[in-house]
Amino acid sequence: MRRQPLPPDVLTTIRIAAGSEEAIEQALRERRIDRRAVRDGAILYLQSVVLYPEADHYRMLGAPRGAPQEQLREHMQWLMKWLHPDRAPDEWEAVSAQRVLAAWQELKHPERRARYDRTLPPERVTTARRRRTIRRHLSRSAPRIPWIAIPSEISDDRNRRRLIVAGVLLLILLTLAFFLSPSDMFERSVLATAFPDGP
């Protein structure tokens, strides 16, 4: 998931982690899961996929590279509502808050942002499957919470493995049926009865 582009609505997840009652209530209405599970899931997703140690500045702010300044500012504000040391005294949040602020300081100035952009490797081109997944993801009317949905690549792999296992089992059964056909078994039993010591 770290290598994939962030979903376009990752701000919903950031707002849930920051404790936005509106975002939490919306997720509860749509997903019908426990309130604590919604927030814990959002935090786990952000810690694992957005705020991991090797993340670039854009990823740290939960935004794509070409994001407008207003979007970066909004993401930074919500992240700081969640991570600010006054609200979250945990050491992990304090370190993440420093990294978010450093990313914001680098990206808020156009000339520093342009210089930083030149240091980044080219963005990965998304595959056709990923584009279809994103398009399908965007077409849903329910709010999209990325840490709840199973990525289609994972479910496709599971289905492919199930088909392979089913095919191998079917091949084994057909092979056994061919070699142990009822007429062959009948002949063997008749011969065994007629010649107990062998032919």
Averaged over 147-151, what is the pLDDT?
Answer: 50
Question: Same domain for 102 and 182?
Answer: no
Same domain, yes or no: 110 and 180: no
Is 127 a member of any domain? yes
Residues 28 and 103 in one domain: yes
**In a shared domain, residues 166 and 137:** no
CB atoms under 10 Å from CB of 152, counted, come to 15
pLDDT of residue 112 exceeding 80, the answer is yes
Mean pLDDT of the chain: 77
pLDDT at 146: 54
22 token code pair: 């509106």
d(CA 28, CA 41): 12
DSSP 8-state symbol, 46: I
On whether residue 5 sits in a domain, the answer given is no
Question: Would you state the structure tokens that stand for residue 88, as one six-digit string?
Answer: 């979250």
Which residue in the block uniquely carries the two structure tokens 């000339």? 111
Rounded distance, CA 95 to CA 91, Å? 6
What is the Cα gyration radius of the chain? 28
Q: Domain range holding 165?
A: 155-194
Same domain, 172 and 79: no
One domain for residues 52 and 67: yes
Residue 184 lies in a domain: yes
Altogether, the residues listed in the chain come to a count of 199
Confidence (pLDDT) at 156? 61
CA distance 101 to 106: 9
Say whether pLDDT at 46 is over 60: yes
CATH number, domain with residue 52: 1.10.287.110
CA pair distance 164, 171, nearest whole angstrom: 11
Q: Which of residues 164 and 183 earns the better pLDDT score?
A: 164
Residues 190 and 111 in one domain: no
Residues 121 and 161 in one domain: no
Structure letter (DSSP) for residue 47 = I
